[in-house]
Structure formats: C-alpha cells, structure tokens
Amino acid sequence: MDHHRHYSFFFLCAVAALGLATLKGIHGVEFVVTNNAETTPGGTRFNNELGADYTKQTMDAATNFIWSIFQQNTDADRKNVATVTLTVENSVVVNGETVIAATSNDAIHVGADYIEGIKGDTKTDFNGVLYHEMAHVWQWFGTNTNMGLIEGIADFVRLKAGYAPSNWVQPGGGDRWDQGYSVTARFLDYCEGLRSGFVAELNKKMRDTYNDDYFNQLLGKPVDQLWNDYKVAYGG
C-alpha cells in the first residue's frame, strides 16, 4: 500500500491516561497528546524526536493555518470542537488494513509503526501527516460526501503548508479528479489558481451536503470539463 495514505473514519474512542499531555491554544481549543506505544521503537522515536509538547504546538499551528485556508474567521464558521486528541498507537487498522494515521471526528490516531519507518527528517514527514489529519478535524463533510474530494482537500492543506512529500503525483497526474489524496490536491490547487479562495468556498458549501455542481457554481464550468482543462494545461 502507499505509505502515505490516510483514512477518515468515524467512531467513539476513549483516550488513555498514559503519557497524557494537554495544551490550550490561543483560541481556546485544547490539544491532548497520548503515547500508548512508548515501549515500541516507533513510540520511543516519537518521544525522542517529536514529543507531546512539539506535537501539541504543531496541532495548534495547524489549526490556525487551516482556519485561514478555509476562511473560517469566526466561531460560527467553524465546527464546535473544544478538544482535539492525538494518540500514538502500536498500529492503526481501518477495515483490516494497516494505515499510518486515521481521524474520527476530533480524535487523531497515529501508528507507531509509521513513525518507526519515517525516512529523512522526522518532523517534516510527521508534520505533513498531522496537517492532513487536522484538516479532517476542521473541514466540513455534510451529506452525500465524496471521500476522494475530502481526502484531496486534506492533502491540499498539506500542500499549501509546504509539506508535500517527494513521492506525490506531479501536477497533471492522475486518472480522475476525485481520485483523492495528492491527485485531487493538485487539481484543487489548479482550481484555486482560477479563483483565489476556491477551496474555502467549496468547503463552506459542503457544510450541509455535497454536489458536483458546486464546481460549476464557483468556476463556471462542470468539474469534468475543469479536469480536462487541467490535464491539457499540464500536457495530459
């Protein structure tokens, strides 16, 4: 599987007390970090190279960045989230598949096995994952959700934050606009170039429900035509 895939899923979870650390951000959101895998190589690497304090500060910085990207300038614009938790687990499994991280509502789970296997700079790689997952906390889902688009918006946040890894698809790559992750992120970046603030406006529209026609409403063309234009622009 792609080492940098992420999954959003929904369930209720309890945060264990082991390694618990909290921080309340400037806007009143509380960030809680727990390492449940301290005895594993990845859990040890988390403590030594990242740590709870650094992670909480990054979660706070990511929140402010995401609010800016989504133009969520007031409490009314944002989800009513008082606390965001991050828990390091031995591994994170979704639908029988081990993934590097997953977010359910306002709870982020990160696999120690992922942290153990990070190549290169630990903080840069981890920050990219964290910005992606924090985007899931704050973005709007609504009904009729297109999960490829949801994951693409989260990777768009990662892209704009400067944490796109070298193994991402290049601009113009991919098979369809809602393929998700870096493919959709690159396409959204193209759309953003057509209209500044496009992703913010699209996210606002997705608060209640999603419809492909939002692309037409915002950019004056159906999404499939925009995808074709995008491919042509990059020689596809």
Superfamily per CATH, domain 1-138: Neutral Protease Domain 2 (1.10.390.10)
Highest mean pLDDT among 9-13, 17-21, 26-30, 123-127: 123-127
Parse the chain into domains and list their residue ranges. Answer: 1-138, 143-236
pLDDT per residue over 93-114, tens digit each?
888 999 999 999 899 999 999 9
User: What strands lie across the sheet with 107-111, from one edge to the other?
Assistant: 7-8, 101-104, 107-111, 83-89, 30-35, 21-24
Task: Read off the pLDDT band of 125 (50, 70, 90).
Answer: very high
Instruction: Report percent pLDDT > 70 for the chain.
Output: 88
Task: Read off the pLDDT band of 8 (50, 70, 90).
Answer: very low
Residue 154's H or E segment, with its range, is helix 147-160
The pLDDT value given to residue 17: 32
The pLDDT value given to residue 25: 57
The pLDDT value given to residue 235: 86
**Res 15 pLDDT > 80:** no
pLDDT per residue over 134-158, tens digit each?
999 999 998 999 999 999 999 999 9
DSSP-assigned letter for residue 50: I
Within 10 Å of residue 216's Cβ, how many Cβ atoms? 14
pLDDT per residue over 201-225, tens digit each?
999 999 999 999 999 999 999 999 9
Mean pLDDT over each residue of the chain, to the nearest integer: 90
Instruction: Give every CB contact of residue 80 below 8 A, 6+ residues apart in sequence.
Output: none
